[in-house]
Amino acid sequence: MPRFVVLHHLTPPAGPREPHWDLMLERDGALETWALPVPPTLDSTQTGQRLADHRIHYLDYEGPVSGNRGTVKRWDWGTYLLLDSSPGLREIQLSGQQHTGHVRLRRKTAESEFWSINCSAVD
């Protein structure tokens, strides 16, 4: 099964981005990545920003990020089952240390980098 990780990304005070959580899904040798303002929790919906794919080593990495971009610490990790996928949709079943449940990521508009991310318990 493919793996996922949620990293708490603490950024420097003068950095271009606020501290956030990175949801990363292993896919095709890279990590599809979304920046979230708060950690994904059951029965929550939030808007996340789709970032460029990240290197696979972040699945197990904790520590400083190159270029003085802060540090990352793993908040949740595990495996996932891909239930549905299209250019603007990912539906997955997570099995992690903090979160086990259904996550639906849907792009807000056809060309948007912003996605609606809904987390719910397993039916």
Between β-strands 63-64 and 44-54, what pairing exists: parallel, antiparallel or unpaired? Answer: unpaired
Total count of domains within the chain: 1
Q: Which mean pLDDT values do the consecutive 10-residue runs of the chain (123 residues) have?
A: 97 87 98 96 93 97 91 98 96 94 96 96 75
Residue span of the structural domain in which 105 resides: 3-120
**Whole-model pTM?**
0.94
CA 76/CA 87 separation, integer angstroms = 25
